[in-house]
Structure 1
């Protein structure tokens, strides 16, 4: 025989489980479709500026509005940091991951105020060397670039990226990042 207290405990546990499930589902959906399709960086040699498409989020609160902030920094504030991480899998295997982030420092100091991913397990320091050569010597010092890529083109089979917001620079920053002073 069931007692009413037993039913209330089961009912309460069911409600808590449902709420946790709904929160988890909302979180996973938001993590998939909220970030923009890409986080491009632009470098303007004539202005000596870097422009970034910066996505701001807090993972612990899926109900908060996650936003994109476009920012611009002077080239003299940009530094590159190489990072690596090692992880151990439950089966004993080891995973190595590495990359390069661009760090923005306060003028005259080494205090980091912002960071942007440049590459992960890809070109690493070669991408940084390419950017530095471009900013210091111009495009004539570089090999010809490949075909430009549209940051909004995504594969047909990637449903999450198709639902994600498109990359759209503010008109004034788009014009400034593409032109000379």
Structure 2
């Protein structure tokens, strides 16, 4: 990692926090590594490729919850106006026009937020293939213009063009100061630090420890294979109402899924769990909306040729 106040990559990410060690840097054999700390983000790992899920980087259900709240407010306002026309906000021509514009704009924005929540694929994974020495990204891209819809795009890059950085977002919510970090893959032109693309790999993390381990694990796997990432294994995928309800309090999950999550928790995870559990009145409704959104969301579908190449079912 770098202690510089500026990134070595240009243009610099506006949310830049620090650069991580270069992809080609020497990996010490005695360096401590615990692959189990990010097992929850591993879809598949074998001798050919490592697939990392980005499902945990989205607050699935938040769009549905916000939509429910906003449409409930709209219904309340219009019902009050219907019952008492004299107190309506739409009485005067100027105020009526202004309020109509505000309502239309917020309705459109809310619809787009709900649409994104239910149409974002259940996962948008990234595959690292050590045989082809390439990465394969299943991306869901924001449109250039607000009136367009998001779209799926498959990206393929050579591993020797990939570096990494951390970004940081921080702000005061009114009750607490919230910090979130994100691990970003930086795609550079060969032999330069000129950035041609940035791809987030993991986000919404309050600390950086797991992000460091993830980047180290990816570098180890791409260089020396599965034997170089001890403790790394695929996540147990569970779907259903109960798992969605506790999606934001996974330390309460029963069975193998909950047990695995609790086993990988570090001391600061217990502190965060103790603090966050008191907000159960937010997490449970959000979990219910998570179930509604994930039920509607489509499964990711790789193009047949890319799917075969990225899993080394055929040569690149």
Distance change in 2, residues 1:66/1:155 (3 Å): same
Q: In 2, Cα distance between the equivalents of 1:170 and 1:105?
A: 25
1:116 aligned to 199, 202, 213, which one? 199
Query: Could you state the TM-score of these two structures normalised by the residue count of structure 2?
Result: 0.49
Aligned to 1:86: 170
Provide Cα deviations, 1:53-85, integer angstroms capped at 9, x if missing partner: 111113861x41211111111010110112223
The answer to which structure, 1 or 2, has the higher relative contact order (CA under 8 A, 6+ apart) is 2
Q: In 2, Cα distance between the equivalents of 1:154 and 1:113?
A: 37
Larger CA deviation: 81-90 vs 45-54:
81-90
The answer to whether the aligner puts 1:161 opposite 2:245 as a matched pair is: no
For residues 69-80 of structure 1, what are the structure 2 equivalents within 5 Å? 69-80=153-164
Q: In 1, Cα distance between the equivalents of 2:302 and 2:236?
A: 15
SS in 2 for 1:26: helix
Task: Give 1 or 2: higher strand fraction.
Answer: 1
C-alpha contact 1:55 1:67 (8 A) present in aligned 2: yes
For residues 1-181 of structure 1, what are the structure 2 equivalents within 5 Å? 8-9=93-94, 11-13=96-98, 15-58=100-143, 61=146, 63-91=147-175, 93-120=176-203, 121=205, 123-148=210-235, 154-156=239-241, 157=244, 158-179=291-312, 181=315
SS in 2 for 1:124: helix
Q: In 2, Cα distance between the equivalents of 1:45 and 1:118?
A: 17
Q: In 1, Cα distance between the equivalents of 2:172 and 2:144?
A: 23
C-alpha contact 2:143 2:151 (8 A) present in aligned 1: no
CA RMSD of aligned residues (A): 2.5
Larger CA deviation: 68-77 vs 93-102:
93-102
Q: In 2, Cα distance between the equivalents of 1:10 and 1:82?
A: 46
Query: Could you state the TM-score of these two structures normalised by the residue count of structure 1?
Result: 0.82
Structure 2 segments unaligned to the other structure (5+ residues) = 1-85, 245-290
Q: In 1, Cα distance between the equivalents of 2:236 and 2:130?
A: 20
C-alpha contact 2:166 2:183 (8 A) present in aligned 1: yes
C-alpha contact 2:143 2:149 (8 A) present in aligned 1: no
Q: In 2, Cα distance between the equivalents of 1:17 and 1:85?
A: 29
Q: Report the CA distance between 1:9 and its aligned residue.
A: 3.8
Q: In 2, Cα distance between the equivalents of 1:22 and 1:141?
A: 51
C-alpha contact 1:105 1:112 (8 A) present in aligned 2: yes
Structure 1 segments unaligned to the other structure (5+ residues) = none
C-alpha contact 2:185 2:200 (8 A) present in aligned 1: yes
Q: In 1, Cα distance between the equivalents of 2:110 and 2:181?
A: 30
Provide Cα deviations, 1:127-163, integer angstroms capped at 9, x if missing partner: 111111111111122225323556xx64434211221
Q: In 2, Cα distance between the equivalents of 1:82 and 1:105?
A: 16
C-alpha contact 1:77 1:104 (8 A) present in aligned 2: yes
Task: Give 1 or 2: higher helix fraction.
Answer: 2
